[in-house]
């Protein structure tokens, strides 16, 4: 028979009574109650690491600010030092922040998880007994001048702003630059355009890729446009936006310190009632992410279809061969990076629905879908950032133009007949194209039959002269 080793515990007390807490964990009674009450999902459903680290930044800034308003410097220093272990991610990785996303919609349990962990770690640093709440109390000292209702939304904004600026923006920029480089490289390669998936007039492969690059430039501009709202922090609003139990000037000083610690230009929200009751900024952020996903799905699909083949598809692009593509068909290679990117985009679009529903549920003075919103926004940022990097490094940079196939398709296209419009009119041009299609002949053959001289045809139908206004 197997026997499990009994976990050594200590007793901690909250307002509902005593709780047994694992001896090797810094969290306390309230975190333990939440663990027992919300056994939902597994490790992948934990509160995101970035949110917990952001809470650490906030608690450190609050402790240092509270010292200016009378908090014992010894306690402030201990809290600040304990918060450093949260900011580094060390205590998250060691399992001191086990709570799931699926808890109270205000994030109160995660705020108290942070207060308890920092409080007990600070007590330990001061040589006290963990769990005693002496000399550091999780509410009276770590949470001083704060409420879960203003700290948790502030932590979300800190985490999202950091992820947008340090993860997503560089990844999208790098992919955009690679697409732009391909646009320049292929500026003189003429190809046939397609509208409604049917043959259209010519353009260059470079022009086509310039459109993709511009989509990502627009996506970056959308991210930049929303950042000012993300930089607005609810800290200072406390419970319902009135600022009860905080001090005048606390919010301004604390937010300034958060900016110094994070390296980002955070400001006090202009209206605490909006900052607590709504999550419009996060819905707006995810709107930008959703548009980016739409753009990336279009680009990825175009690239994989243009690279279809090798013998029986369009074959205009030669995509990197990264891994075998089939367990039954020898030699097959698939556009796996394009497929991964399109799946990411589909997931982001799904996340957008959840974020939208969450944002709409800010009843009265408080939105209570914040953990859901935070987790989905951060997941979308992570997926898009990693996806752009993978797609860029393992696909886009290695794409080659199949010049022979491109030239062959141009020569076979009936839509070059559009160049005849200014000279012989739309109707006669259409008759020539239809005749060539019906008879399996070339445009030139049918044009000569229609009385156009060979010299005129050669002068008028020049794909390289059909790439812009005349």
CA 277 remoteness from chain centre? 24
CA nearest to 358, candidates 102, 178, 80: 102
Reduced to 3 states, what is the DSSP secondary structure of residue 10? strand
326 carries an active-site annotation: yes
Cβ neighbors of 231 (< 8 A, separation 6 or more) are: 157, 161, 264, 265, 266, 267
Q: Are 300 and 399 in contact (CB under 8 A)?
A: no
363 is catalytic: no
- Unique residue bearing structure tokens 């932590």: 155
Of 142, 90, 132, give the one whose Cα is nearest residue 112: 142
Q: Residue 134 corresponds to which tokens in the numbers above?
A: 């002496």
> Which of the following is catalytic: 2, 4, 196, 327?
196
- Going from the C-alpha of 22 to that of each of 6, 10, 98, 125, the distances in angstroms are 10, 6, 12, 19
Which candidate, 19, 55, 23, 14, places its Cα nearest to that of 142? 55
Taking the CA atoms of 247, 282, 180 and 418 in sequence, report the sign of the dihedral they define: negative
Tokens (6 digits) for 370: 């914040």
216: which residues sit within 8 A by CB, 6+ positions away?
Answer: 172, 175, 176, 179, 292, 295, 296, 299
Say how far apart CA 16 and CA 3 lie, in whole Å.
32
CA–CA gap between residue 186 and residue 164 (Å, rounded): 31
CA distance linking residue 126 with residue 122, whole number of Å = 6
User: What does the block give as tokens for 24?
Assistant: 């090797």
Q: Which of 326, 363, 437, 453 is catalytic?
A: 326
Distance of CA 148 to the CA centre of its chain: 25
CB 381 within 8 A of CB 351: no
205: number of CA atoms within 13 Å, CB side?
A: 26
Cβ-contact 103, 119 below 8 angstroms: no
CA 361/CA 390 separation, integer angstroms: 35
Where in the sequence numbering do the catalytic residues fall?
196, 326
């Amino acid at each position: 028979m197997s026997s499990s080793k009994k976990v050594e515990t200590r007793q901690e007390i909250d307002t509902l009574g005593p709780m047994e807490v694992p001896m090797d964990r810094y969290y306390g009674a309230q975190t333990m109650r939440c663990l027992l009450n919300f056994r939902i999902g597994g490790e992948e459903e934990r509160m995101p690491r970035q949110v917990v680290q952001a809470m650490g930044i906030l608690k450190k800034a609050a402790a240092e600010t509270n010292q200016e308003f009378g908090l014992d410097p010894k306690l402030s220093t201990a809290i600040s030092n304990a918060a450093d272990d949260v900011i580094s991610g060390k205590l998250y990785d060691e399992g001191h922040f086990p709570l799931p996303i699926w808890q109270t919609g205000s994030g109160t349990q995660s705020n108290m998880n942070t207060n308890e962990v920092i409080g007990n770690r600070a007590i330990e640093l001061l040589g006290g007994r963990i769990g005693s709440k002496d000399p550091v109390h999780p509410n009276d000292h770590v949470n001083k001048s704060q409420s879960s209702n203003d700290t948790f939304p502030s932590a979300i904004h800190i985490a999202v702003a950091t992820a947008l600026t340090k993860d997503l923006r560089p990844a999208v920029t790098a992919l955009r630059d690679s697409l732009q480089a391909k646009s320049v490289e292929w500026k003189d390669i003429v190809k046939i355009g397609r509208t409604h998936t049917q043959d259209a007039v010519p353009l260059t492969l470079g022009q086509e890729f310039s459109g993709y690059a511009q989509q990502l430039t627009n996506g970056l501009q959308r991210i930049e446009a929303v950042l000012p709202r993300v930089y607005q922090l609810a800290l200072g609003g406390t419970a319902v936006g009135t600022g009860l139990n905080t001090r005048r000037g606390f919010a301004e000083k604390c937010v300034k310190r958060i900016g110094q610690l994070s390296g980002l230009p955070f400001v006090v929200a202009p209206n605490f009632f909006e900052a607590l009751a709504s999550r419009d900024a996060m819905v707006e952020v995810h709107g930008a992410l959703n548009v980016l996903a739409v753009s990336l799905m279009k680009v990825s699909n175009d690239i994989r279809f243009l690279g279809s083949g090798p013998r029986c598809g369009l074959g205009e692009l030669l995509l990197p061969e990264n891994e075998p593509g089939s367990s039954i068909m020898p030699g097959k290679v698939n556009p796996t990076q394009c497929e991964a990117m399109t799946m990411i985009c589909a997931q982001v679009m799904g996340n957008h629905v959840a974020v939208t529903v969450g944002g709409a549920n800010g009843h009265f003075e408080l939105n209570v879908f914040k953990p859901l919103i935070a987790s989905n926004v951060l997941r979308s940022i992570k997926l898009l950032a990693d996806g752009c990097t993978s797609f860029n490094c393992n696909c886009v940079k290695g794409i080659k133009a199949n010049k022979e196939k491109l030239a062959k398709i141009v020569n076979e296209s009936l839509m070059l007949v559009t160049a005849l419009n200014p000279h012989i009119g739309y109707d006669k041009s259409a008759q020539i194209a239809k005749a060539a299609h019906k008879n399996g002949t070339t445009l030139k053959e049918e044009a000569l039959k229609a009385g156009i001289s060979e010299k005129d045809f050669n002068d008028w139908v020049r794909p390289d002269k059909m790439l812009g206004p005349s």
